[in-house]
Every structure is written in C-alpha cells, then in structure tokens.
Structure 1
Amino acid sequence: MTAETHAVRRGSARSHTVPTATGGGKRRDIQGLRALAVGLVVVFHLLPSLVPGGYIGVDVFFVISGFLITAHLVRELESTGRVRITEFWARRVRRLLPASLLVLAVCVVLTFTVMPAITRPQNFTEIAFASGYVLNWNLAASAVDYLNATNPESLVQHYWSLSVEEQFYLVWPILLTVAVFIAARSRMRAPSTRPLSASVTTRRGVLAALLLVFILSLAFSIYETARSQPSAYFITTTRAWEFALGGLVALVPGLRLSEALRAALSWIALGAIVACAFLFGPGTAFPGSIALIPVIATAILILVGDSRAAFSPQRLAHVAPVQSVGDLSYSIYLWHWPLIVVVAANVSAWPSWVRIPLILVVTYVLAVVTERFVERPFRKPRGAFRRRSVTFGTMAASIGVIVTVTVLATVGIQNAVDQRQDDLQEQLSGGGSSSSECIGAQAVYNDCADPFAYTDLVDPAFAQEDGPWAWFDSELAATACSSATVGSWVERSCAFDGASDDDPQVLLIGDSHADHIASPLQRIAEDRGWALRVETRQACNPFRVAAESDDENAARCASWGADVIAQTVADPDIDVVIVSTRGDSGVWEANAATAFRDLEAAGKSVVVVSDTPNVDGRQVSNGDLITGPACVLAAGSVDDACSWDDERRDTWVEDTAAAEGVPVLDLRSLVCPDGVCHAIVGGLIAFSDENHLSGSYALSLAGWFDRELTPIIDGASARG
C-alpha cells in the first residue's frame, strides 16, 4: 500500500509542524516503519532466539494501516460527504489480492510437489481459509484445539495477519460512514447557537467511532488474552484497537514541536519498539495490555512524522535500501514464510549460514519481480480491470479456483484415510490369522518376529490424520457421547450401554491420554457386554488441586476432577474405575492417594493405566522434538525408524497407585519394551503427534486390554 504522504518543510530551527494526514507526497518515514516492521517479522521467523518478540512487526503494520486508511476515508468524507465503499473495496482488491493470490497458487503447487505428504491436509485447509481471508479465525480455533495445537507450520500461516487487515478494510468504511451519518443526524436534531461545519461533524463522528472501537477492543483484548492467549493472538476483535489508534493519529491536527523534542520522542518510540522485539517472547501475554507499548510507540513515530534533521532517527529511513525494503514490504512478507517452510522441509540439514542467506536472497528477488509485474500493474489498472464488476468478478473466480482445488485435494486425502482405516479395521479383526495377530501393539504382546520393522503398513501421512476418536463408529459416538469446550479445552462424556443392567459398569476418567485408549476399551466392552462410561477433560489431570495462581483452565480442571471423583464415589452402579492421565502438569500425590482410598472404600475396583512417553526424535531432527509421523519420515524407510531410550519421568500417578495397592497396567511396555521406545510397532506408527497414540495403534491394544482387564472386571462384578 502506497503511503499517504506529507511534503516535509524545514521550518525554523526552533520548531516544526507535525505532519497531519491530509498532505500529499511520499512519507519516507512510514516506508521506513514498514521496513522495520517486515524486518522484525522476517528475522523473528528466521532466528526467533535473536528477536523473540519480533512478532510485534505485525502490530506496527496494523497501526500504519489504521492511520493511512482512516486518513483516506476522512478526506473522502470531508470532500464529498460520503464514501464510495465499493470503489474503496475495489482499490483494496487491486492493490492486495493479485500478489496474495499468486503466492497462494504457488503454495498449492508446492504442497503437491515438494512438501511432505504429512503436511498436505493442513496446508490445503489453511490455503483455502487464507484465500477467503478468514485464516486468523481458523488458526484461533486450532490454537485451542488440544490435539492440533502442535501441528507443524503451514506454508500460509502468516496469512493470519493479512486476514485481519482485509477484515479491517471490509468493515472500516462502513463503520466510519455510519458514524458520520449518526453525527450528522444528531447535529440536525440538536439545537445549537453555533452551527457546526460538515467537516467538524465528520471528524467528531469518526472520533467517537474510533474511541469506541479502541476502548472496547482493548478491553476485550486484555480479557481474552488472560482467558485464552492462543486464540486471542489471532482474532480480529483483539486487534481492532491497534487500527483504531492509528486512525486517531490521523485525526490529530498539525502540532508545532521543536526539533529537539521531535527527535527525543522519535528515539524513545523507536527504542521502545526495538526493546519489545528483544524483550518480548513466547511467554509474553500478547496482545493484552503489554501490546500498548509497541503500538503507542508506532503511533508516536507516525505522529511526529518525517525529518531531515541530522540527529533524528527518521534519517535512517531515507537511505535507499531502507526505502526499497519499505516499498517491497508487502511482497517480502508474502514470500518469506513459504520459503522458510519449504527449505525447512527439504534441506533442513543445510547449515543456517547457507539456508538463511538463500532464503533472504530468493525472497528479495521474488518480491522485486512481484512488485514490478504484479502489484504495480494492478495498482493503476488499464482497460477492463478499472471496472469494479470485473475486479470483483476476477477476485471471486480466482478465490473459487483455489478453494475448489484445495477442497478436492482435501477430500481425496480424507477418502484415502478412510479407505486405509477400513483396510486396517479388517486386518485388526482378522480372526486369528498369523498376520492379523502381529499388527501394531499385537507384535509386542504376541511376541511376533521383527516387531519394529519398516513394513508396507507404515504410512506417515495416514498416521498424521489418525486421531484416536476416528475409530469410533460415527453413529455410536453420536448417540453415546457428548462434548463441550469449557475454557479452552474439551470435556467429553460417553455412556455405552452394556448387554443388560446386571453387567459390569466401567468408568474411564482422565485427560486426552484417556481419550486415546477409549476406542479399544469400548470394543472390549462391546464384546464382553460391559457398560462403559467415559469422563475426560483435555490437558487436565483429575487429581489436580486448586491454587490461587490458577488460570481459567487450571481452575476448571481442579473443580472438574473433584466433581468427577465425588460423583463416582457416590454412584453405586460403578464397579470399576480406570484412570489414565499424564503426570507432567504437576504433582498431587496426596490428593491422588485420597481419591484412590475413597473410591475403594465405596466398593470400586480401581485400575491405573501407565502413561505413554513423548516422542523423542532429536537424533533425526537436528535436536528438535517432533511428532511421531514426522520423526519416522525424517528417519527414512528403515527398520526401527525413530527410536529412543526410555527415560521414565513424572510417574507419580503410577507410583502413588502402587503404594496404595492399586493395580497398574503397564501400557508403556508396549511402546518401550526393554527400555527402548519405538515410533514404529507392528507396522503402525504408534503416535499421531508428539504424545498421543494414533487411533490404529490404540485399537491394536484391544487384545492386551482384554487380557489385562477382564480378570479385574470379572472379579469386581463377582464381588458386587
């Protein structure tokens, strides 16, 4: 977007008029801010340890956009009394979408050709959302989806900020038009001894709207960041105040400040932005109230304006390379991230001193070409593209093509996953053939030969999509299970009926590690005639004890766990309680021991299932912890691809159970026999991510659970 500008006047040595939003010419200081913003983002993506808060570059862009767009709309309102909204949208489409859709189309091709198969479903899904400029909402949902929170980055993940901007462009002219209309109507109805000019009315209406957006959005941003920071980061409503502040700067009249004061304010503001880039990081509660620092600093720099004074930081923006990066900032932003992802997926073994310069050079070259041959021609189009109908029609057709291709590709992938699941279902129900008794975990508990061999069944792309709940019969799950998101995580409740009222009543409680064994337990319960209930909450150890420092999710976890255990103790129908949970979120041994005693005192038989390990693929991934499918893919098509020494940690739940005489089923021994953990077991990839069992591997546990649980449940039933 070409900067709205102000012709800088030298003025006197003592004072200078701060530029307003109404001038013409090129604001080189804003181009410099753009260069700074895109530079922070690119360096953050390439070297996050160097500038861990470089993500604030996006916020700098938001303030700039708020300033420029508000200034443009206010000028139009003042000069014509209205905004030609469809013409405004058409200009935005011509300015932004040609380059954006080009990069999306290239990303579709890259996904088909050079990206690993395990990344295709996510890439195609996010490309479709990005083409409709709603990716930020999709990422917000994924960020709080516990089973998707560790997905690898897609080629277009950076389009979340472009989605926010496009939504701003869609709503802003309507908002300001309505605000000015209301202000004009109020002026006509209110008696006044001093009539206001149309210009004053316009600015008052816009000011009221901007203040309202600023206050409400900032308040919501602070609230939502405290409640659910992952989703707050992406959604538009937590960012609108940043655009509004830029708009408020556009309404500020020219101020006269001394050069010394202007320089001092500029250096302080620039220093604040740079300091945030170095001091903020992944643990910063962003974009809550702390985002005020870089946002206000950006607003101050825009308000102070350009300068040729030798001691002013704005002089840094005047040099040709900085202006070039500012001019190319949009295309640089579009291209740099897909290149980073492609390089990481294909040549991650190359040293960083080769990869980083390569990415930077290719990014700059592509940005130059894109700006010259894509952005520039559409900025001032000729012929048919000057017509709004052609502009919108071409936009809709282009988006339609991208969405169609990605949806068809996603459907094809899902069909392949479904077929693969059907094939495995048949094999796992093979009725005793030797080959069917050695699939997945069966290869360990049936003592099969070569249990960790790389066979034709190994399929990283399938494993990536092989979630635990995919193995429930959809009709059965729909009638037996319900779920709700409370806080950020899902709580699930299921009730599978037994053969009769006299059959054993079994309850499975825990977190997502209880979820991933629910399917094999349900199969056994169905075969044995047990009634099975499931009560789980993601990321929640049911023995958690509330603490004053708890956030919303932790507090809910503590109350949920206490309620489930109390209700179980009071329920006379439950015969057996199976507990499966992670132990790495805290240690609450005393509470667990009390729960075990209370349950057994109420006549329940309690069984604890040991936790499964996290995938440790550091030997094949340059020291990074990655998912099971990614680890197997990185290790290559070799036997025992991706294995690691077992280091049992956070075993306090099992240890407490053993101390209380509660039987512990050693599920971990089926993944880590003899002290070594394996990502491939019986031809199946055991993990769908970095810690959850894949659905097919979990289902292969049915025979083992049947063998281990049946005596316990039959005994409990007999006692009952």
Structure 2
Amino acid sequence: MPAYRDDIDGLRAIAVLLVVVYHVWLGRVSGGVDAFLMISAFLLTGSLMRRLESTGGVRAPTQWIRNFKRMLPAASIVIAATVTIGVQILPGSTHESLWRHAWASLFYSENWLLAFESADYYADHSQASPLQHFWSLSVQGQVFIVWPLLFVLIALIARFARGRIPARRIALAVFGAIFAISLTYSILSTAADQTLAYFNTGARLWEFAAGSILALTIHRLRLPVIARAVIGWMGLAALIACGLVLDVQGGFPGYLALWPVVSVAAVIVSGNDEDRRYGPAMLLEKPLVLALGRSSYALYLVHWPALVFILAARDGAPLNLIEGLIVILCAIAVARLLTAIVDTPLRRLEWVNRSNWRGAGVIVLSIALVAAIIAPAQLEARRLAETEATALAEAEQRAKEQRTYRNPGARVLFDDWTGRIATNVPLRPRPAEVADQWGTLSRNCGDGSIVDIPSSVPACLDNEISEREADRTIVVVGDSHAQQMLAPIDTIGKRENWRVVSFLLGACAFGLRDVQPDTDGYSRQECRDWNEDVMDLIEEIDPDVVFTIGTRTVAADSESPSTAGESESVPDGLERAVKRLGRMGIPTILVRDNPRFTYNVYQCVEEAEEGNRDVNAECGIQAHQTLARTNPLDELKSGHVAALDFSTYYCPDACPAVIGNVVVYIDKNHLSTFYLDTLEPVIHRELVAAVDDLGATSGGASESQRRSR
C-alpha cells in the first residue's frame, strides 16, 4: 500500500460534498458522515497497528494528544464564532441552549446531548442548533479515546501470548467482536428508537470497527487493476447514490448503513496499489478534489452553522439552486482559509509536534478560547435574568396594589374576570425563563421507592406525599404533553392532599398498540414495551384514577387556510388501554390535546415583537386548522372514563400565541408552565369534579384506598 493515499483525501472531498449538498438543497442525510467515520477508523487503526508492530507499544497519551491537537483548534474557533454570531442574531430564548450545545461540542458529548433532547436530525434546519453537526465529531472523539486503549489491551494480550498469536490477529478478533456486537445492537436500537440510535455511540462503533478490520486486512487484498477499478467505481457510485436510494431517515444507523460503509471500503480497496489506472483515483487525485479533501474537516465544521443562520434569517424558507451554490462556495472559501491559517501550520510546526506538553498546551488553549466566550456570556445573562426577575416581581406587586394585572394569562377568559390588564408590559415567560417551563414533580421515584421500575420505564416522578397520608392517588402517564400538565396537577395535589405519580416517555402516547408500520413514533418497539410495562406498574400501584392526554392534534401553519384539524384523533391503542384499566376497576381521565404548530411559536413572538408587529396576527392560527370541530373524546366517555376539554382556553376564538400578556407556548406544541399556572383554577375545578365523580361511580375513594392498602 502506498505510504500516503492521496485518493483517500479525495474520498473525503466526495464525502463532505455529499453532506453539504444534501443539507443545503435536499434536507436529507446522505451517508457522507458514515463515510467519514469509516475513513477515520481506517487511518487511525493503520497508524496504531504499524506503531504496535514496529515498537511493541502504543503510547496512548501521545496518540490522544496528537488527535485532539489536530481536531480542537479549528473546532474551537468555529464553536467560538458560532456562539458569538448566534447570540447576536438568534432569539434570546435560544441562547441558553446555544451555550449548552457549545459546551457539549467542545467536550465531545454533543451526540449524547442530542440523544437526551431527542433531537430530530431531519427536522427544519432553521430550528436546529447551529452546533448540532458536532454529534459526529463527538462520536469520533470518543472513539479516538477508546481505540488507543483497545490497542493497549491488544498489546498486553500479544505480550502474554509470547508471540504465539500475532498482534494483528488479536486485533482482528477484537474488532470483529466489536463489529458483530455493535451492528446487532445498532439494528435492534434503530428499530426501537431510530432518533436515539442515530446519535448513540454504541450503535455507531461497528462502522469504526469495519474501518479497522479493513485497515488490518487490506495488505492481503491483491486484485488485478481492472477488477479494482470496477469495484472502485461501483463503490463511488453507490456512495453518491446512497442518500437518494435509501430511507436514511427511517433506517440509519442499522443494517442500511452498511451501504455507505461497504461503498467506502470498495473505493479504498480500489486504490490499494501504486497502479491505480482506470479506478476512481483518476478523479479523486485531481488537484481541485484534493484541495477540497484537505479542507474537508473545516468545511464540515463551518457549513452547518452558516446554513442554520441563513435559514433562520429567512424564516426557514429553503434555498434555491443559485442561493445554495453561493452558500456552498462561501463555506468552501472559509474552510480553505481556516485550514490555511490553523490546521496546516499546526500540523507542520515541529516545535509543537516534538513535545507532548506543547501539544497538550494547544488543546488547553483551544478549550480556553471557547470558555472565555461562553462563560462570561452565561454569567452575564444569568445576572441580567435575576435582575429582571426582581424588577418584574416588584412591578407585579405594585400592579396588584393598583388592582391591575400585568400578566393574567388565561384569567382574562374566566367567566368572573373583572380585572384590568396592564398594557406595554413585558410578556411572560421571559426568554431566560423558557428553559424552565416544563412540568415536573419533586422526587425521582425511579429508585424503586414506590414500585420496582423496569429498565424500559426511564422516568418515574412523584410529589413525595406518601400512600398512607394521601386522600387519593393519581397516576399521570404519557408523553411530553402529559408532562406539561404536571405543573398544575402538582399544585392541585398539594392542595387536595393527593399522591401524584407520573410515568413519562417522550413521543410515546399512552395506549396498548400492536406491531404495525410506525407513522408517528407511537408504534416503535420502545414505546410499545413502555406502555405494557407501565400498565403493569399502574395495576401494582392501583391508583384512584389515571390521567393522560386523550387526543393528538394536527400541526398547523399561520398562513395556511387548511382545515386539517378534522384529523385530530384518539391515539391508536388508547381505547384498549382504557378498557383494560376499567376491568381493573381503575377509572381514567382523558384530556384533549392542545394545538400544535409547524413553527416555534415563542420565537415567532420574539421576532414579531422586535419588528413591532401584531404577535397574534403573525403567530396565531385558526382553531379549525388544528382542532376537530367536535371533541373526539366524547365517544369514549363512560362511567369509568371522564373527558376534560380546555381548548376554549387555548382557542377562545382563534388560537392566539399570546393571551393576557402571556405567551401560551414555548415551542411548536408545548404549553408554557406560566400559562398553565394562570389556568390552574379551571383545571383544579374540572379535575377535582372528575375525580370525585369517577370515585363515586367506582365506589368511592375509601374503596379504592382499601384496594391499594
């Protein structure tokens, strides 16, 4: 094999162009990232294996410093620039998230942050984090830490074997095992929860293992020049076609990701000789392609934040051919500049390369650059938020003394509303408050303090009122729309002396569903297993009532005349779950879902306010666009099922973004806790009445408590 493979630099150029082109024009995933992962493992493993065979050692710390000295300087500059620009042009409500993603990107944990947030990599790019693309670099960084440790293990085994088993054969066994285990896990986890699997390092390790296996065996692959050329061109064509042919969104990184991995392997094998006539190296070693390939890392770094910022400025409007081409060319120019002034000089600077301490110093300085920008900005933002919160509290008190309400929210819709509403006051929640607008309960009961929790149920929360002390037990179950209701329910529970327990799973509505094509995420294996296990937990707790969201509304656009709200529906499997609860003697309270939007309502309000535009005219929708004309829950009501409908407080006529100087939503479809707090008196009245009615129908609270105690 040639000492340096120029064609692999050219292959990097193809991979990064696929990533950029698909992001800019197609809004899809191309398989280019998988190519990068494969290539990086191929090169890293080849380097470590040669060192082990020639010296008998690995020098893991030296390898770590070498890798991160190359990666971090350019990355830190892009992170710092992205944060600086983002704070200036993105809405204030996104700043805390921007800083959080910057820290995660800097310390190579962005993939886990995105997995935790259940980010949709295929969603509207204008709403995405401008640092979201660091997920793949985070996976790569984690592997760059683990792989040298694996070679230390390989070296120890080889030493223990005293030469009877060659180190290369041991390495093949190690990476073969990783490939088999990780690929199996990837297939299973992708089927269960594809969004989570996409960012999961464990579901990606097999791609690195494949690159490692190729690096360990490629010296044995000797094929005629024509055969290698055919294989190479087929691999290159397959790589380019991957994102168009495959359902990347629904299938990666499971077995479908074998397509780009095998394609890259074919191209690498085709260049495994000095004689590369007729093969794709003819294209990949062209000067322009090589120039792009040697700036591929920088281009990957800069293209995504540039695209996100541009789309955010255009309110998500996609780029046409010419606009997209301009963005790509500008990104290439910036990437070339970044490579020329940062990457190339550091790579060639012998004074730094001769000392691990100096290399470590480059890493520390890179981290310090980002920290020097993020930390002061965060501290100042928090100081200003605390100052604003104090000022708002004082203003609220003065307004009460004058019998004027600054942010009454839903109260302006109450039948007995007689107050005066202040004008020209800041809307609530403020941007700094948005991150805290999620319902929760005070204690994590995942420790088995209530019941033994299986691994399939990741979230158990309760309000610390014991079973013996409580007058009633309420179980709240469902997805994030059930979670948002925890805020008023927690308040009600404390007043009524209710024990409140919740089981929650994002994007998983309550219901017992059969295996079927997954169109909304509710039928994924993880969701089905969770529902079955939660049903068993409910039976064990035997509460007085189960509370959940009973419908799913339709996302609507403020500019669309659509009447799609007619498709508001009861989630599949809910009726079956309710009937099973009924057979257990456990009644159910179903709540109608709130409106959903195709855009971030809170950010829309921020932008409308900045432009002195009417926030409700610009950011609201009509009720018929998202809600059915009749409540679908009416058909489910019975002696053991109550249905609550608060839609008149979300859509008193139309569905406004702001009611009573309170922003109703914090994103596309979740209600702000601030607004729900103002609606709490109505929720309290309706919920208590429903619980009492169901208790009377099922034999009263005392009977329920006797069952459970």
Correspondences of 1:142-181 after superposition (within 5 Å): 142-143=117-118, 152-181=127-156
Counterpart of 2:491 in structure 1 is 523
Q: 1:408, CA displacement in angstroms?
A: 4.9
Q: 1:245 aligns with which of 206, 210, 213?
A: 210
Correspondences of 1:44-63 after superposition (within 5 Å): 44-49=22-27, 52-54=28-30, 56-63=31-38
Counterpart of 1:318 in structure 2 is 285
Deviations 1:182-231 (A, max 9, x none): 1232135x6xxxxx8xxxx2322333333233223223322332333222
Q: 1:116, CA displacement in angstroms?
A: 2.3
Q: 2:296 aligns with which of 322, 325, 329?
A: 329
1:486 & 1:421 partners in 2: Cα distance?
41
Counterpart of 2:526 in structure 1 is 553
2:610 pairs with 1:630: no
Q: Look up the equivalent residue of 1:297 and give its one-letter code.
A: S
Counterpart of 2:413 in structure 1 is 444
2:245 & 2:170 partners in 1: Cα distance?
38
What is the TM-score with the length of structure 2 in the denominator? 0.82
2:366 & 2:210 partners in 1: Cα distance?
34
Q: 2:509 aligns with which of 536, 541, 544?
A: 541
Contact 1:511 1:541 (C-alpha < 8 Å) held by counterparts? yes
Correspondences of 1:202-601 after superposition (within 5 Å): 202-251=167-216, 252-253=218-219, 255-305=221-271, 311-348=278-315, 352-353=320-321, 355-383=323-351, 386-403=354-371, 405-410=373-378, 412-413=380-381, 427=396, 434-436=403-405, 439-445=408-414, 455-458=425-428, 461-462=431-432, 464-469=434-439, 490-495=458-463, 497=465, 503=471, 508-527=476-495, 529-538=496-505, 539-547=507-515, 550-560=523-533, 562-563=535-536, 566=539, 574=544, 578-583=547-552, 586-588=571-573, 590-591=575-576, 594=579
Q: 1:500 to 1:537 in 2, by over 3 A?
A: closer
Contact 2:76 2:367 (C-alpha < 8 Å) held by counterparts? yes
Contact 2:86 2:309 (C-alpha < 8 Å) held by counterparts? no
1:716 & 1:76 partners in 2: Cα distance?
73
1:271 & 1:483 partners in 2: Cα distance?
55
Q: 1:366, CA displacement in angstroms?
A: 1.1
2:386 & 2:483 partners in 1: Cα distance?
20
Counterpart of 2:596 in structure 1 is 614
Deviations 1:540-588 (A, max 9, x none): 43343444775432322442464466567x55xx3x6544344357334
Q: 1:425, CA displacement in angstroms?
A: 8.0
1:76 & 1:502 partners in 2: Cα distance?
67
Q: Look up the equivalent residue of 1:258 and give its one-letter code.
A: P
Per the alignment, in what secondary structure is the counterpart of residue 655 of structure 2? strand
Q: 1:664 to 1:264 in 2, by over 3 A?
A: same
Two-structure CA RMSD over aligned residues (Å):
4.0
Q: Look up the equivalent residue of 1:214 and give its one-letter code.
A: F
Contact 2:550 2:633 (C-alpha < 8 Å) held by counterparts? no
Per the alignment, in what secondary structure is the counterpart of residue 219 of structure 2? coil
Contact 1:85 1:173 (C-alpha < 8 Å) held by counterparts? yes
1:503 & 1:89 partners in 2: Cα distance?
59
Q: Which sections of structure 2, spanning at least 5 residues, go unmatched? A: 518-522, 553-568, 701-709
Moved more, 395-404 or 695-704: 395-404
Deviations 1:134-173 (A, max 9, x none): 2222222222799x99993222211122222222222323
What is the TM-score with the length of structure 1 in the denominator? 0.81
2:6 & 2:106 partners in 1: Cα distance?
31
Contact 1:128 1:407 (C-alpha < 8 Å) held by counterparts? no
Counterpart of 2:81 in structure 1 is 106
Deviations 1:582-606 (A, max 9, x none): 435733475366368658xx596x6
Q: Look up the equivalent residue of 2:622 and give its one-letter code.
A: D
Q: 2:161 aligns with which of 177, 186, 191?
A: 186
Q: 1:490, CA displacement in angstroms?
A: 4.4
Q: 1:468 to 1:234 in 2, by over 3 A?
A: closer
Counterpart of 2:19 in structure 1 is 41
1:85 & 1:258 partners in 2: Cα distance?
38
Deviations 1:511-564 (A, max 9, x none): 43232122223323434x342424343344334344477543232244246446
Q: 1:320, CA displacement in angstroms?
A: 2.6
2:6 pairs with 1:24: no
Q: 1:340 to 1:590 in 2, by over 3 A?
A: closer
Q: 1:414 to 1:610 in 2, by over 3 A?
A: farther
1:40 & 1:441 partners in 2: Cα distance?
49
Q: 1:432, CA displacement in angstroms?
A: 9.4
Q: 1:61, CA displacement in angstroms?
A: 1.2
Give aligned-pair identity as a percent: 28
Moved more, 383-392 or 683-692: 383-392
Per the alignment, in what secondary structure is the counterpart of residue 644 of structure 1? coil
Contact 1:31 1:327 (C-alpha < 8 Å) held by counterparts? yes
Q: 1:612, CA displacement in angstroms?
A: 0.7
Counterpart of 1:655 in structure 2 is 634
Q: 1:115 to 1:149 in 2, by over 3 A?
A: closer
The number of aligned residues is 664
Per the alignment, in what secondary structure is the counterpart of residue 468 of structure 1? coil
Q: Look up the equivalent residue of 1:440 and give its one-letter code.
A: G
Contact 1:579 1:608 (C-alpha < 8 Å) held by counterparts? yes
Counterpart of 2:560 in structure 1 is none
Q: 1:278 to 1:488 in 2, by over 3 A?
A: farther
Contact 1:513 1:580 (C-alpha < 8 Å) held by counterparts? yes
Q: Look up the equivalent residue of 2:593 and give its one-letter code.
A: D
Contact 1:53 1:278 (C-alpha < 8 Å) held by counterparts? no
Q: 1:371, CA displacement in angstroms?
A: 1.4
Deviations 1:687-707 (A, max 9, x none): 122222111111111122234
Moved more, 365-374 or 504-513: 504-513
Contact 1:497 1:532 (C-alpha < 8 Å) held by counterparts? yes
Q: Which has the larger radius of gyration?
A: 1
Counterpart of 1:672 in structure 2 is 651
Counterpart of 1:621 in structure 2 is none
Contact 1:496 1:522 (C-alpha < 8 Å) held by counterparts? no
Counterpart of 1:135 in structure 2 is 110
Counterpart of 1:646 in structure 2 is 623
Per the alignment, in what secondary structure is the counterpart of residue 488 of structure 2? helix
2:660 pairs with 1:682: yes
Deviations 1:633-657 (A, max 9, x none): 3444433241111135577751223
Q: Look up the equivalent residue of 1:633 and give its one-letter code.
A: E
Q: 1:285, CA displacement in angstroms?
A: 2.0
1:477 & 1:414 partners in 2: Cα distance?
31
Contact 2:550 2:571 (C-alpha < 8 Å) held by counterparts? no
Counterpart of 1:10 in structure 2 is none
2:669 & 2:154 partners in 1: Cα distance?
51
Q: Look up the equivalent residue of 1:687 and give its one-letter code.
A: Y
Deviations 1:256-277 (A, max 9, x none): 4333212221122122212312
Deviations 1:272-300 (A, max 9, x none): 21231212345332111221121022112
Per the alignment, in what secondary structure is the counterpart of residue 237 of structure 1? helix
1:445 & 1:293 partners in 2: Cα distance?
59
2:586 & 2:66 partners in 1: Cα distance?
72
1:259 & 1:85 partners in 2: Cα distance?
37
Q: 1:495 to 1:72 in 2, by over 3 A?
A: closer
Q: 1:705 to 1:63 in 2, by over 3 A?
A: closer
Per the alignment, in what secondary structure is the counterpart of residue 700 of structure 1? helix
Deviations 1:664-718 (A, max 9, x none): 43211111112x1111111111112222211111111112223434555566778
Q: 1:534 to 1:86 in 2, by over 3 A?
A: closer
